[in-house]
Amino acid sequence: MAPRRRPILLLAPRIAFYAYVLEQLGAGFKALGYPCDCLNIQLEQDKVAAWARRTRACAVLEINRVLSPDIDWPTGVAHVAWIQDFRAYGRLVTKDLGVSDRLYFIVQPSVFGVTIPPDRAWSVLNPGVRTDVPVPTAAAAARDFCFAGYIPFPPDMQTPVSEMPDGRVVTLEEFLAHFPAAALQQSQTSLEMSDTAIDETCARIGCAPITKDEIRALLDEDLVRIEERRKVLEAILTVSKSLDILGAPTWQYWPQFKPYYRGLFLDPRELDHRYQTTRINLHNGILTMHFRVLDCLAAGAFVMVNETDLDFMPGGIRMHFEPDKHYGTYRMDDAAEAAKRYLADEPARQRIAAEGRHEVLASHTWAHRALQILRDLDLPVETADRRISVPAS
């Protein structure tokens, strides 16, 4: 008889997608013999501590929140923080790393402008995939391209971002005329690079430093997302007008993309068939081991992913998958040419998609992620499935 394990508690902000993540990670822990309880709410940490005491939990994992040193945390309960965004709960998550026993980042912490002290235990924790994704059928492709992701509203270029010593307003348009283009490349930038670019641009113009968080977020989050996604999709539309765009309704405020908008799908399970019936699924961003990339692979669908400087670092896609063996790849300056090449070679796409599905299900399920956490916390684990192992980080 398997030993009875103490439970693991999982929490995340009240966002529908995080409810899905908690459900899947919880299933991974349960597959390894650990009971799991999940809360998709923003619960005060003293109440989390009380919950951990009451349930005699062995660990608590919170998405986007570190353990505050002011909390009377129960002895013998490991606190794990999985940082997926640098802004959450209305503030910068990474300004204070708290006292969590283990820090996980979804991407290299340097992207979030974080330097980890040498005495803190941390690593990259990639997303996982479901094992119940249906096998792709021989159904005919319904479209050439599909992009699932977020784009902010088009910015108002007359937005005041700062002011000169004489009181004259500096608009976003004027500020961007002096702002380095490299700091707006999402696939290459970091919060540190954005912060430096903002401060140096203020000094160059001679305007007041930008201190309002909403203005800095406009520059280091919104515009960064907009610039590359707009360029990629505009390039793709020169190849084919057979494009579906999925995500928040903000896409409809972009005239060039509105005709291709197909709606928001909150449950990733709803996207399996769409990925499978698309010739080329597209990804853009600094995070190449993204939920959507792995979901495409698990669906046995072909996905084309942009290259980044982080690809060969721990947690990067090239540490786990090979381009043109498991997925398609492109550079920001050749998105259209890469798309044409892959679109013209259906046998290669089918071969790559099949290899990608095999590899992701062999090494990147949610049970693999749960096992990584258990081993990092030195918690015992027994599984009859010897295929579940943690790739070296």
CATH topology of domain 131-363: Rossmann fold (3.40.50)
pLDDT at 96: 86
pLDDT value for 386? 45
Nearest in space to 295 (alpha carbons), one of 154, 136, 151, 181? 136
Predicted confidence at residue 392, as pLDDT, reads 38
330: which 2 tokens? 């492109």
User: For residue range 306-339, what is the model confidence (pLDDT) as tens digits?
Assistant: 999 999 999 999 999 999 999 999 999 999 999 9
Q: For the chain, list residues with pLDDT below 70.
A: 1-2, 89-91, 383-393
Which pLDDT value is given to residue 391? 41
How much is the pLDDT for 3? Answer: 74
Other CB atoms within a 10 A radius of the CB of residue 362 amount to 12
The pLDDT value given to residue 1:
54
CATH 3.40.50 for domain 8-128+366-376, yes or no, is yes
* pLDDT score, position 276: 97
What's this model's pTM, rounded to 2 decimal places?
A: 0.93
Q: Where do you find CATH 3.40.50.2000 in the chain? A: 131-363
How far does CA 232 lie from the centroid of its chain?
Answer: 18
